Amino acid sequence: MKIKTPTRFDWRASFIYWMFALIFLFFAVLLHNDGFLGPNNLLNIFRQTATISVMAVAMTLVIACAEIDLSIGGVAGLSSVVVAITIRDHGAIAGVCAGIGVGLLVGAANGFLVSRIGIPSFLVTLGMSGVAVGTAALITDYAPIPILNDGFNRIFGSGSIGKFPSVIFWSFSAVLIGWVTLTRTTLGRRILATGGNRDAAEFNGIDTKRIKFTVLLISSTVAAIAGMIYAGRLQTGRYEWGTGDELSAIAAVILGGTSLFGGGGTIIGTLFGALLVGLINNGLILAGLPVSEQQIIRGLIIILAVALAKKK
């Protein structure tokens, strides 16, 4: 007769949740006279992290597949300027199609070079980031392109659904779709299998090259949508939008509990990881620290959090 032994509590599995609660409590006490707990400020945290949350959901699929995508920030910026120019010349519907087209084009190029040519995704997407940013700067001559279409701006950023900003709708929609994809679909299971053990996945009939192509295509397409959210919220297309977002998205994914080596992923954890990064940013700003000190403290907190959350 086999005797079951009690399983040891794995505190790392719920690390992001108690870490979020701990930092939230810290800022709530420290900044209780500075409006930290005010409804508007709490809503601002969700609003400010919405774009990162959208990107981080797609990044979770990429990292769960044991790949990486460093081009999403550049794709977001390129998408925003292409959308702005197209809306100016041809209208909102054409602009949305053009923005998504940017994501599909870059994603297909990334996916082909990684899955078919065999170049590491780190190198491919790092180079593609430079191509995207340079192209966006070239076609705009470094100048912002205003978006005067009120319908587009309301849908993608400056509008609201009831009392909630539309950017929050985009964020939670991405989380829901990502969660269903990763946990309830064949694609999700194949992504995890490919990231966990590529040889075993291929032995079981999974086309791992196709899976890698798919996750990189999804990542760039979602980044393009994030660029449209930037454009709608700020009512401008600019090549700088999205700069550095790839690092914030990766931090959110890793903080959320997804292994950097693939084979596992949690979309809800990623959402809380993104909110944690936004919470830290918001608290440090309200504390009145200089930008240089904010960067130092934010970096140290994220390094410490990742170190504590790292699985053995």
Residues whose CB is less than 8 angstroms from the CB of residue 99 and which lie 6 or more positions away in sequence, other chains included: 79, 80, 82, 83, 86, 224, 225, 227, 228, 231
- pLDDT of 117 > 90? The answer is yes
Taking a C-beta distance cutoff of 8 angstroms, is the pair 56, 273 a contact?
A: yes
- pLDDT of 7 > 60? The answer is no
Q: What pLDDT is recorded for position 308?
A: 65
- Taking all residues of the chain, what is their mean pLDDT, rounded to a whole number? 89
* DSSP classification of residue 266: -
Better-predicted residue by pLDDT, 45 or 102: 102
pLDDT single digits (tens) 20-71 = 999 999 999 988 877 888 888 888 888 889 999 999 999 999 999 999 999 9
CB count, 10 Å around CB of 294? 17
pLDDT single digits (tens) 272-304 = 999 998 898 888 888 888 888 877 887 787 777
CATH class of 34-304: mainly alpha
The helix-helix angle for 92-112 and 72-90 (nearest 10°) equals 150
CB count, 10 Å around CB of 8? 6
Rounded distance between C-alpha atoms, residue 157 and residue 165, angstroms: 7
Rounded distance between C-alpha atoms, residue 83 and residue 88, angstroms: 8
The helix-helix angle for 208-234 and 186-196 (nearest 10°) equals 110
- pLDDT of 11 > 70? The answer is no
The residue-averaged pLDDT of 229-249 equals 91
Distant-in-sequence contacts of 28-36, Cβ < 8 A, 24+ apart: 30/283, 30/287, 31/283, 31/286, 31/287, 34/286, 34/287, 35/286, 36/282, 36/283, 36/286
Single-letter amino acid code for the residue at 255: L
Domain ranges for the chain, please list them. 34-304
Could you give phi then psi for residue 48, rounded to 5 degrees? -70, -25
Q: Within the chain, how many helices (H) and strands (E) appear?
A: 13, 4
Could you give phi then psi for residue 62, rounded to 5 degrees? -65, -50
If pLDDT is split at 50, 70 and 90, which confidence band does 309 have? low
If pLDDT is split at 50, 70 and 90, which confidence band does 104 have? very high
Q: What pLDDT is recorded for position 2?
A: 46
If pLDDT is split at 50, 70 and 90, which confidence band does 12 have? low
Tell me the pTM: 0.89
Taking a C-beta distance cutoff of 8 angstroms, is the pair 156, 233 a contact?
A: yes
